[in-house]
Amino acid sequence: MRTITIVADDKVGLLADISYILGKARLNIESINVDVVAKKSIITLTVSDPERAKSVLEASGYKMAETNAVVVKLSDQPGELARITSTMAADGINIENVHMLSRDGKTTILALTVDKPKKAIALLAPYLMSREEEV
């Protein structure tokens, strides 16, 4: 799953502007996470067409980074996240971002951005979601 991350000065209406630009381009936001740190907004999106979204947002003056996320499906129970994150830490994989995509009481689906994606994919093989399962 490819995600787009926008880092911009935090201001009133920023998310309204970004969502308007994407909506006008007929791009659907599939998931979103927004944080404000030190007066900077960090907006992480998955969208229906990441290349086109990147193009229209850059044309509007936004700077962004595009990353590939590892999507995992876990049992929705205490300790599951600790189990996989401990395994990754023990193997020297740094987790840069965790984005909860869905949770239904039985399963939790997470998108993880890591510094060593190939190593994480091999390590997390039992938890990986196939393209058909991705939300």
Domains, the chain, ordered by start: 2-68 (3.30.2130.10), 70-127 (3.30.2130.10)
Q: Which residues contact 25 (CB under 8 A, 6 or more apart)?
A: 52, 53, 56
Radius of gyration of the chain (CA): 16
Using the 8-state DSSP alphabet, how is residue 86 labeled? Answer: H
Q: What is the pLDDT of residue 130?
A: 65
Asked if 133 and 72 touch (Cβ cutoff 8 Å), the reply is no
* Mean pLDDT, 10 residues at a time, the chain of 135 residues: 86 96 95 88 88 95 84 94 96 91 89 91 90 48
Q: What is the pLDDT of residue 132?
A: 46
Q: What is the pLDDT of residue 99?
A: 82
Residues in the chain: 135
- Tokens 């190593």 sit on residue: 119
